[in-house]
Amino acid sequence: MSAGPADFEQALAETAAAVDATLDALLPRADGVEGRVAEAMRYATLNGGKRLRPFLVVAGAQLFEVSEPSARRTAAAVEMIHCYSLVHDDLPAMDDDDVRRGRPSCHVAFDEATAILAGDALLTYAFEALSAPETHASAAVRCELVRGLAVAAGCGGMVGGQMIDLLAAESTLDIDGVTRLQKLKTGALIAFACEAGAILGEAGAEARAALAGYGHDLGLAFQIADDLLDIEGSEAETGKAVGKDAAAGKATFVGLLGVDGARDRARVLVDRAVGRLARFGDKADSLRAVARFAIARRH
Amino acid sequence: MSAGPADFEQALAETAAAVDATLDALLPRADGVEGRVAEAMRYATLNGGKRLRPFLVVAGAQLFEVSEPSARRTAAAVEMIHCYSLVHDDLPAMDDDDVRRGRPSCHVAFDEATAILAGDALLTYAFEALSAPETHASAAVRCELVRGLAVAAGCGGMVGGQMIDLLAAESTLDIDGVTRLQKLKTGALIAFACEAGAILGEAGAEARAALAGYGHDLGLAFQIADDLLDIEGSEAETGKAVGKDAAAGKATFVGLLGVDGARDRARVLVDRAVGRLARFGDKADSLRAVARFAIARRH
């Protein structure tokens, strides 16, 4: 299959639409007095995100001929975790961001208490969805998904990374420190998204490790590209405030390596990520296209 | 086995010590820059709570001769969920409580951002712990535990109840409304704690339903007792601010039924809860003692 940039953008949009439909079907609908929290969960999730992580789950699952419903449910669970983290990160006590994906952040559109609860409920619901028999016939597979997602999202992964990030204005991170921060904050969930297809397909340890390694390299490349966009992008293009990290005096890849150095580093990472896919042949062309997209995108 | 009040208090203390040891062993230790979040997780969990929910898990598990390590891990996971909910409920944007179990609340001892993250990490970690093979040899059982806990904790359970509670100052709840609020906010997790032993023991649907029903009755009785303590207790006895709900103009059982009416209702619920245990014979004496404790306690 050929996978030029236009093909890739179309494949990304198609997967986003499919996963959006799954999210829409899975997420609770506002009902009763407590309906406000369901409304906020839907607001924070069904918002036109590009669904990169779901795409990685679906593209990984295709390598092992996993059924589409299984892949989509798993993709939706990963996206719920991503969306909950954005809701909590945007809170005034955290990064204090009023804009997300070009719309008011959840706590602006609702209120802080509802945003905290909607984040909690999305996080919880991801595990509810994954553990249900509809996700996979094998309970062992479902347990591995639950565990892998929890490890990626928890204090040794995404939450730990966010903690470092909040403390980073006070500490002075060097390049190893920033790399570790991003490995936890964004890399762990992206790596799980890449590995999830192999878990669903009950693939061997080597295939799983190759995909997790691809995910870690890809995640870092994406983060470096984000740092570059934070310097070079416009708010209209990225849908969020730009220049914030630099203004907050946070250590970033661009700050530590310079624009050219950061761009070079991202290229090396993308090459390494693509290199890890060799064993999967043509089937992994979608994943190769994601890696190229990571450093070519403008938003 | 006899189970007078003194025996029960001792059994509760012994189970609390055992589950505390399990929590201490399970919870991550502060390490690296992100260690602050692990510190806050431990602060919010290892705090001398009476461990009612863990006791229910362990007492339920004893009915089905579940191994102690299985029961304790599950009990610890349930307590993590309870503790995360207290951390988030205490936040300024939620109930704004500075004192918890006689100590500064998590966001006072640390800061708001750390408290939000510690809550998120505890919630996530509960599912990580449950899904691990150490919890039970059967992956199907582990999946059922994950799912049951997620349903009890999520937007159709605890989080939904907290949403109603936050809106309750604005709406005017009648007795059915308050009952539903408490069924979600505290009842769902207590009912899961009661049912968890039956899940671990792979018991039949009737035994599970009996225990869940017992848990729902018990949860409501506990909540009514809490409302009574909120009016009658002292801060020194309860370890938290008293009279808050009444001052906030929230609808409570006591406000709607009067002190005597509320006390009668609690007694009826406890009798019904105990009635559901008939099928389990003497083995359920611990659970009977919990029910009596619910309305006799002063803290």
pLDDT in tens, A232-285: 765 555 555 555 665 666 788 998 999 999 999 999 999 999 999 999 999 999
In chain B, count H helices and then E strands.
15, 2
What per-residue confidence (pLDDT) applies to B2?
Answer: 46
Which residue type, as a one-letter code, is found at position A48?
Answer: G
| Record: contact B143-A147, CB cut-off 8 A | no
DSSP A140-205: HHHHHHHHHHHHHHSTTTHHHHHHHHHHHTTS---HHHHHHHHIIIIIHHHHHHHHHHHHHTT--H
More confident residue, B9 or A272: A272
Closest residue in A to B164 (Cα–Cα): A34
| DSSP, res B111 | -
Minimal Cα–Cα distance from A195 to chain B, Å? 17
- Cβ atoms of B7 and B45 closer than 8 Å: no
A140 burial (CB, 10 Å; 0-12 / 13-18 / 19+) is middle
Closest residue in B to A84 (Cα–Cα): B120
| Record: contact A113-B93, CB cut-off 8 A | yes
Name every chain B residue with its beta carbon within 8 A of the beta carbon of A123.
120, 123-124
Name every chain B residue with its beta carbon within 8 A of the beta carbon of A135.
none
Name every chain B residue with its beta carbon within 8 A of the beta carbon of A94.
113, 116
H or E element, residue A99: strand A99-100
Residues 246-265 of B with CB under 8 A from A: none
Name every chain A residue with its beta carbon within 8 A of the beta carbon of B32.
160, 164, 180
What per-residue confidence (pLDDT) applies to B118?
Answer: 98
CA dist., res. A115 & res. A127, Å (int): 19
The average pLDDT across B43-57 equals 95
- Cβ atoms of A101 and A299 closer than 8 Å: no
CA nearest A97: which of A85, A82, A81, A80? A85
| Record: contact B121-A154, CB cut-off 8 A | yes
Residue B244 has pLDDT above 70, yes or no: no
What per-residue confidence (pLDDT) applies to A2?
Answer: 45
Minimal Cα–Cα distance from B203 to chain A, Å? 18
Residues 92-121 of A with CB under 8 A from B: 93-94, 111-114, 116-117, 119-121
The partner residue sitting opposite B121, judged by closest CB among A111, A121, A155, is A155
| Record: contact B121-A36, CB cut-off 8 A | no
The partner residue sitting opposite B167, judged by closest CB among A33, A121, A142, is A33
The partner residue sitting opposite B34, judged by closest CB among A113, A125, A164, is A164
CA dist., res. B5 & res. B285, Å (int): 12
3-state secondary structure of B200: helix
- Name the average pLDDT for chain A: 92
Name every chain B residue with its beta carbon within 8 A of the beta carbon of A154.
121, 124-125, 128
Minimal Cα–Cα distance from B299 to chain A, Å? 27
Q: Report the percentage of chain B scoring pLDDT > 70.
A: 91
pLDDT in tens, B194-210: 999 999 999 999 999 99
The average pLDDT across B4-14 equals 85
Name every chain A residue with its beta carbon within 8 A of the beta carbon of B128.
146-147, 150-151, 154
User: The whole model's pTM is what?
Assistant: 0.94
The partner residue sitting opposite B160, judged by closest CB among A37, A94, A164, is A37
What per-residue confidence (pLDDT) applies to B230?
Answer: 81
CA nearest A42: which of A125, A99, A136? A125
The average pLDDT across B148-158 equals 98
The partner residue sitting opposite A146, judged by closest CB among B146, B162, B163, is B146
What per-residue confidence (pLDDT) applies to B240?
Answer: 52
pLDDT in tens, A102-131: 999 999 999 999 999 999 999 999 999 999
The average pLDDT across A200-225 equals 96
Name every chain A residue with its beta carbon within 8 A of the beta carbon of B132.
147
Q: Which of A62-76, A240-254, B19-33 has the lowest mean pLDDT?
A: A240-254
Residues with Cβ within 8 Å of B299's Cβ and at least 6 positions away in sequence, in order, are B50, B229, B233, B237, B238, B239
Residue B298 has pLDDT above 70, yes or no: no
- Name the average pLDDT for chain B: 92
Name every chain A residue with its beta carbon within 8 A of the beta carbon of B147.
127-128, 131-132
Residue A163 in contact with partner chain B when CB distance is under 8 A: yes
A2 burial (CB, 10 Å; 0-12 / 13-18 / 19+) is exposed
| Record: contact A124-B171, CB cut-off 8 A | no
3-state secondary structure of B100: strand
First to last CA, chain B: 26
CA nearest B157: which of A86, A22, A78, A128? A128
The range of the structural domain enclosing residue B100 comes to: 5-296
- Cβ atoms of A83 and A43 closer than 8 Å: no
What per-residue confidence (pLDDT) applies to A229?
Answer: 87
Q: Which of A16-20, B33-37, B62-66 has the lowest mean pLDDT?
A: B33-37
Residues 66-95 of B with CB under 8 A from A: 84, 88, 91, 93-94
pLDDT in tens, A1-23: 444 667 888 999 999 999 999 99
What's the structural domain count of chain B? 1
Residue B160 in contact with partner chain A when CB distance is under 8 A: yes
Name every chain B residue with its beta carbon within 8 A of the beta carbon of A29.
none
| Record: contact B37-A163, CB cut-off 8 A | yes
Q: How far from the centroid of its chain's Cα atoms is residue B197's Cα?
A: 15
The average pLDDT across A21-50 equals 94
The average pLDDT across B3-10 equals 76
Q: How far from the centroid of its chain's Cα atoms is residue B10's Cα?
A: 19
Closest residue in B to A145 (Cα–Cα): B131
Q: What is the CATH number of the domain that holds B243?
A: 1.10.600.10
The partner residue sitting opposite B128, judged by closest CB among A120, A125, A147, is A147
Name the band, by pLDDT with cuts 50, 70 and 90, for residue B152: very high
| Record: contact B117-A163, CB cut-off 8 A | yes
What per-residue confidence (pLDDT) applies to A1?
Answer: 43
The partner residue sitting opposite A128, judged by closest CB among B125, B142, B154, is B154
CA nearest A196: which of A104, A114, A82? A82
Residue A184 in contact with partner chain B when CB distance is under 8 A: yes
The average pLDDT across B8-20 equals 94
Query: Looking at this predicted complex, what is its ipTM?
Result: 0.94
| Record: contact B117-A164, CB cut-off 8 A | no
